[in-house]
Structure formats: C-alpha cells, structure tokens
Structure 1
Amino acid sequence: MTQRLDWALDPDETRIAAAALEDASELARSYGRDWDTASAPRLVRTLVLKACRRYMNNPNGYTQSRAGDETLGWSDAAGENAGTVYFTEEEQKLLRGLAGKSPSLASVPISAWESQREAPVGVVPVAGGGKPFPLFSDEVEPW
C-alpha cells in the first residue's frame, strides 16, 4: 500500500494503514464474498487499496480546510462514511458484481394463512355465491 501514497509512513501511520487495510478487506468481503488474498480477483485488491489510500489521504474526512483562521469543515455528503474506510456506491456495485451477487427480481405467490381452500369433490360452484351444485353421486370417488 505504501507505493500508492505520496509520502513515507512513520510507525503510527503504518499501524493506522494496517488497520485501514484490514477494515477495507472486511468491507469487501461483506459486499462481495469471503475472499482471501489468494482468491480475491485483482480488481477487488485494487478497490481495497483505493479505499485505504482515500482514507490515508484524509483520515478525518475533511472537505474544507483553511490555514489562515484554521477553519476545518466536514460535509454531510459523505454521511456516516466521513473519516472512515469506505467504498463508494459504484465500488460496492463492482464488488457485488465480482461476487456474482447481481440484483434480481422475482415473483412469489403469497396468500393469507389458510385462505386457500380446496374445492369440495363432487360439486360445482354456483355463480353468485349460492350453495354448490352436486355433480357426482359419490364425494370420495366421483368418477
């Protein structure tokens, strides 16, 4: 990861970078699948390192900084991710796609509990909700 940063890390930054790498790896597993360093696709490793670099460049999540009056600012745009290791929405989609977790749509029939009753054997329903008309002489073996 140190090759992706513009400066040499001191011991504290090395410790923080190692923790960020661990956090980003866990996040990648949660969005994708249970990859390890050997089985993860190259793009997953790239996304993990990209998230770590983003964090190491701005660990506090500042969006504005001024040297004169020491003004610092945060934005609500990053939301809960400000100052943490995170993947953007596009990166999350990529991780899900690499894991084969494509969003899909399914149709599932549902009904209320005990709402579907079988029609009685040997009778024909009558329009208008009247009493069913017997068609066969035997309810057990109508044929």
Structure 2
Amino acid sequence: MADFATLDELKARLDWTLDADEERIATSALEDASDLARAYAGRDWTPASTAPRLVRTLVLKASKRYMNNPSGYTQSRAGDETLGWNDDAGENAGTVYFTRDEQAMLAELGGRKSGLISAEISAWNSVRRPVHAGLVPVDTPGGKAFPLFGEDGEPW
C-alpha cells in the first residue's frame, strides 16, 4: 500500500536535514502513520492520491510529531545530561500516533459518523397499517379512528 505522504514532504516540514538513519526512521514513521490513518478512517483510498488532502496533512503532522521526539521525552537538561519521560503521554509516548481530534477527523473523512441512529423495528410477521397523523386506529370492523389530539381548527 502506498503512503499518503512522501519523505520529501516530511523533510520540508522539519527544521533540520535528515541523515541516512533519520531518513529510514522517517520512512517508517510515514508508513506507520498511513496505516493508522487507514485504520481510523475505516477505509483505504486506492490510489493514495485520491485521499482527501486532510489525510495527507494528518499523516505528515503525526510523522513530524514523532520525528521531533522519537523517544517521547518530556524533559531534557543539557548540564548533566538529564533526560526524562513520564506516563502522561500514555501508551503513545515514543510512537507515531494521532490525537483524539485527529482520530475523529479521520473517522469522519472515512465516512464513519458518530451520533444517534434511529432504527425502525417490528414484530415478526406483523402487518403494518397505514398511520394517519393525529388519529388512533381502532381494531373493530367498521370502526372509525378517533383523534389523538385536537386539530388547529377543531378543539376537543
């Protein structure tokens, strides 16, 4: 599967020139981010060039976030070479990841919409009767439906 962004596009967003090892890591980050984008979107765009531009932007954003801090450090000190990290970043520390907002955007771009859905249900082998707005059906032969509520022109 093709990646949604190229190494050159990622290089253009970084503040330094990548060496050979960093290019290898960046290529892997783009692959991982593209795979995650497909998973969160719930679909694949084939070819990758048919994907919305926002998918490419999100893949580049996640890859750049990873390249800026591949080990997931949260503090650094130049003096005694103190580096530190904590669990605030959770399982995503030091990995390519999408934030919750980015995940929601990818899901929407893929056609997955969250929210409430109303589904009509009925009993097995039931017969549907026509419903007239504001009238209650009567089950006796020849019975006339009666109003459930008053109409504008005719009060109760």
1:25 alignment partner, one of 19, 34, 44 = 34
Give the TM-score normalised by structure 2.
0.66
1:87 alignment partner, one of 95, 98, 108 = 98
1:7 alignment partner, one of 11, 16, 25 = 16
Deviation at 1:106, TM superposition (A): 4.0
Asked whether 1:38 is paired with 2:49, we answer: yes
SS in 1 for 2:75: strand
SS in 2 for 1:65: strand
Instruction: For 2:85, give the aligned amino acid.
Output: W
Give the TM-score normalised by structure 1.
0.71
Please tell me the root mean square deviation across aligned C-alpha atoms, in Å: 1.9
SS in 1 for 2:49: coil
Deviation at 1:34, TM superposition (A): 1.1
Runs of 4+ residues over 6 Å off in structure 1: none
Deviation at 1:108, TM superposition (A): 7.1
Q: Deviations for 1:18-56, whole angstroms, at most 9, x for unmatched residues?
A: 000000000000000212421210000000000000000
Aligned-pair identity in percent equals 68
Aligned positions of 1:52-131 closer than 5 A: 52-106=63-117
- Tell me the equivalent position of 1:120: none
Q: Deviations for 1:68-108, whole angstroms, at most 9, x for unmatched residues?
A: 12221113221000000000111111111111211133467
Instruction: For 1:6, give the aligned amino acid.
Output: D
Which consecutive unaligned segments of at least 5 residues does structure 2 have? 1-9, 124-156
CA distance in 1, matches of 2:86, 2:64: 19
Which consecutive unaligned segments of at least 5 residues does structure 1 have? 110-115, 117-143
Larger Rg: 1
Deviation at 1:65, TM superposition (A): 0.5
CA distance in 1, matches of 2:92, 2:81: 23
Moved more, 99-108 or 61-70: 99-108
